[in-house]
A and B are shown apart, each in its own frame.
Chain A
């Protein structure tokens, strides 16, 4: 039985066991006939980043789920009959395709169906949905483009357009790690940003690659991958270290904190705020590493106020090819007053 899904109504449950249903996260649910990862991947991710939403693609090639910074994971492969059942719940049937935007409360905000299939592909359809959302609910005093980018860079996250989905929740959702696991992998547990994640890894996997490629935490950056640039700096048991030269297996039992773990909900860490306020970056690629290193350095210094020379010495493991050093030093020095 097919029935329409109304805007403002509760979205039907996808009822897929492999898909972790997170009611507190906005989600785009797309029904398309055929889809595979790589199909307009960059454009799709850009739209998802703008929406601050995850995408679930229900298609004949499987059910795929991913966020703006994740690899697409196939969480289920449905038979034609199962596919029809799921589609029917959303009022999609036969040759029809559709895009639904579901907010953090599980309510349908945008429903776009086409019996003839989505014209222009999925990314375009989601872009159109995002435009509609924007026209519908653009808040007063929206961030301009640069502020938007800055906020995304220093927090390591997409700026969240739909309210209510806290970055931490999104980052810490369970990744379907087993799906991507190597059969001969090593079973490990990593304590990342306060949450223990169990996964299987190749023994060769660096902590950096594991954070980025397996756990979807792409705030930590890969620069040189040989310990010389500091872009991959994370905290292990409170001490700044290089995730590129740390094997994931060796990080077991340590408390790992990445750039995604610094903010308290929507409240940026003082160091993140300082980098925004002092413009401590240009292109932003080294910024997560700079911030993690700076947080580690101040922890090492304890109550002692550092001189500018000491800050430069203490930050010598973090290279910035844009040469934003003066503002980086200024940001670090200004982060101190009022630190908890």
Chain B
């Protein structure tokens, strides 16, 4: 690990003041310490924000407000989250291991780096780690890589489960900068790699995520996360789906479909949502919507299986939600 200066921030302002391009915030450490040991990340300074009072989960102006330092495990077991935003609790519980969930925070989870093995190995061509060196994954082994949103410069998949759920919940990210606090809708947080894969999100180097608002939408409570992976625990998604919709008089009202494991960023499938809106749910409709969700997919030789897998994952999440709704309504809703 390269030497660095360790700074412990006592207040949010102090943390923001200490921030800069060569500086990284550390909270849980599960991404940063790992990548620093691999010397994939080599900040000159790390600012320890783990002591800041940003871990509350409380009622906010538009719904539940989750502090940036709330641990993944704490969010997942919060009864309000489980009742009102089940997709978020399910996504968090499907991620990493119990120890890592006890360490990882909401803010850190959002800004975690890709698990692309060429990014992590420190030597391969990687435009994300060393801009301009090329992408070893593009013609290399890329079974885990993205089929949506990639470019010839980068096809690394975004690894977060939580961010996929937050995308389906229309979460609002609150960011403190040197001068003011601003809000970023989660759909505007992550960037496509295009020709600058090293620029991953829209948060500045001197900005700190302070909390995330979960709006009380009509579909949030009727939501589900389904994740498919190589083993049943402690693995990144091959494909995952966060699905949320409201059912009004036997028809789908507003719907959200977001995909994980298949996109270069947490992937919102707006075309699929449009297919569902206003329609009575049926197996044909689900098929149409899940096909629309993967519209524009550009698989390569090792990851072509993800296209069909992701379609079926969306369909399964949708069907499981319908079954749950049926059970709740005594079987009458359909």
Contact = CB atoms under 8 A, between A and B. Distances in A.
B29 A249 contact: no
Size bracket, chain B contacts:
20 to 34
B97 A241 contact: no
Interface in B11-53: 26, 28-30, 33-34, 36-38, 46, 48, 50-51
Per DSSP, chain A at the interface is mixed
Contacts of A253: 51
A4 B138 CA distance: 78
Contacts of A246: 29, 33, 103
B30 A227 contact: yes
A123 B94 CA distance: 52
Interface residues of A, number: 31
Interface stretch (B2-10, B82-90, B216-224): B2-10
A316 B102 contact: no
Nearest to A233: B99
B49 to A, nearest CB: 10
A196 to B, nearest CB: 18
Which one of A228, A250, A253 has the highest number of Cβ atoms from chain B below 10 Å of its Cβ?
A250
Given A250-B48, A313-B233, A316-B234, A204 B103 contact: no
A126 to B, nearest CB: 38
A242 B100 contact: yes
A204 B1 contact: yes
A60 interface: no
A317 B100 contact: yes
Contacts, number: 81
A246 B50 CA distance: 11
Given A230-B97, A245-B33, A316-B98, A203 B6 contact: yes
A95 to B, nearest CB: 48
Interface string B94-124: 0011111011000000000000000000000
A256 to B, nearest CB: 14
A210 interface: no
A314 B50 CA distance: 25
A242 B185 CA distance: 32
Which one of B34, B37, B73, B99 has the highest number of Cβ atoms from chain A below 10 Å of its Cβ?
B99
A297 B30 CA distance: 19
Contacts of B96: 317
Contacts of B1: 204
A225 interface: yes
Contacts of A127: none
Given A203-B4, A204-B4, A249-B6, A225 B99 contact: no
A297 B98 CA distance: 8
Contacts of A245: 28-30, 33-34, 100, 103
Contacts of A296: 98-99, 102
Nearest to A242: B99
Interface in A275-333: 293, 296-297, 300, 312-318
B98 A317 contact: yes
A314 B98 contact: yes
Contacts of B73: 239, 300
Interface in B48-102: 48, 50-51, 73, 96-100, 102
A3 B274 CA distance: 97
A127 B202 CA distance: 66
Contacts of B98: 240, 293, 296-297, 300, 314-317
A46 interface: no
A247 B5 CA distance: 13
Contacts of B26: 247, 250
Contacts of A204: 1, 3-4, 36
Nearest to A202: B3
A255 B8 CA distance: 18
A313 B28 CA distance: 22
A240 B48 CA distance: 20
Given A242-B100, A245-B103, A313-B233, A226 B37 contact: yes
B227 to A, nearest CB: 13
Contact of B37 (A225, A242, A293): A225
Given A186-B6, A250-B50, 20 more contacts: A203-B46, A226-B38, A239-B73, A239-B102, A240-B98, A241-B99, A242-B30, A245-B29, A245-B33, A245-B34, A247-B29, A249-B48, A250-B48, A253-B51, A293-B99, A296-B98, A296-B99, A316-B233, A317-B99, A317-B100
Those 4 A-B pairs whose CB atoms lie nearest each other, nearest first: A317-B97, A316-B233, A203-B6, A204-B1
13 contacts: A203-B5, A203-B46, A204-B1, A204-B3, A204-B4, A227-B30, A239-B73, A240-B98, A241-B102, A241-B103, A242-B103, A247-B29, A315-B98
